[in-house]
Amino acid sequence: MIRIMLVDDHTMVREALRFVLEQDVGMEVVAEVGDGETALSMADTLEPDVVVMDVALPGQSGIEITRRLLAKHPQIKVVALSTYLDRSIIQQMLDAGANGYIAKSAAGAELKQGIRNAVAGRSYLCSDAAALVADSMRERRGPSGSSEVRSLSRREMQVATLLAEGKSAPDIAEQLHIAPGTVDVHRRNLMRKLGLHSVVDLTKYAIRTGMVMP
């Protein structure tokens, strides 16, 4: 059972999220809170598996609350939930330690998938956020892009992009019509070439440098 705490300053939003999440027999909402300070206090008591964190909170933002929460409870996973689809805000939430970013308009199946990915140690961007990031990357991409990205093969670029979007190795293997073991080989190679150590690091790198699938 995945134990979840909801952090959002709108009561109706929290109630709607609870209803959606508890339709899944593997998820339980253990707390709903409306501000960051209360969230930090409740996390000390309840130690949930996942915190669904609104970015725009009264007082300190969800970005700063995420940073403070994970400094004290690094084992807790954070999935950001926001009305804002802004590449800079997505980057800041990931830098603060969030495992995923979900637009409130996608707070249904995609939120559940983001939570599952977070528990599995993978990052996840909802489809709207992933599309925004990809569009921003394309605008910045060109022959003058980073030398590390240019060193990647076409297949490594494809694998990197799908990993950054939160896809699992079996999903990538199916989409690219290759063996899961081959995905792992490409993942190790691209991580080595880019000097990265986790998929979350890869997601941040992809946003920062404009790395997209050819």
- pLDDT tens for 18-71 read 999 999 999 999 999 999 999 999 999 999 999 999 999 988 999 999 999 999
User: 187 and 110: one domain?
Assistant: no
Torsion of CA 52, 55, 58, 63, to 10 degrees: 100
**Residue 214 confidence (pLDDT):** 39
The CA distance from 158 to 210, in Å, is: 13
209 token code pair: 């440098």
pTM above 0.75, yes or no: no
| Vertex 152 angle, CA 146 and 158, to 5° | 110
Q: Based on the structure, what is the number of domains in the chain?
A: 2
Same domain flag for 122 and 146:
no
Furthest-apart CA atoms within the chain: distance in Å: 52
- Please tell me what DSSP assigns to residue 195: T
Please list, in sequence order, all residues whose beta carbon lies within 8 angstroms of the beta carbon of residue 22, skipping any fewer than 6 positions away. Answer: 28, 29
Model confidence at 136, in pLDDT bands (50, 70, 90)?
low
Strand order across the 100-103 sheet:
27-33, 2-7, 50-54, 77-82, 100-103, 124-125
Of residues 136 and 181, which shows the higher confidence score? Answer: 181
Q: Which of 130, 154, 186 is a domain's end point?
A: 130
3-state secondary structure of 76: coil
**SS3 assignment for 66-81:** HHHHHHHCCCCEEEEE
The whole domain housing 24 covers 2-130
Domain boundary among 101, 130, 159: 130
| Same-domain check for residues 122 and 204 | no
Give 91: exposed, middle or buried? Use CB within 10 Å, 0-12, 13-18, 19+.
Answer: middle
- At residue 143, the pLDDT reads 43
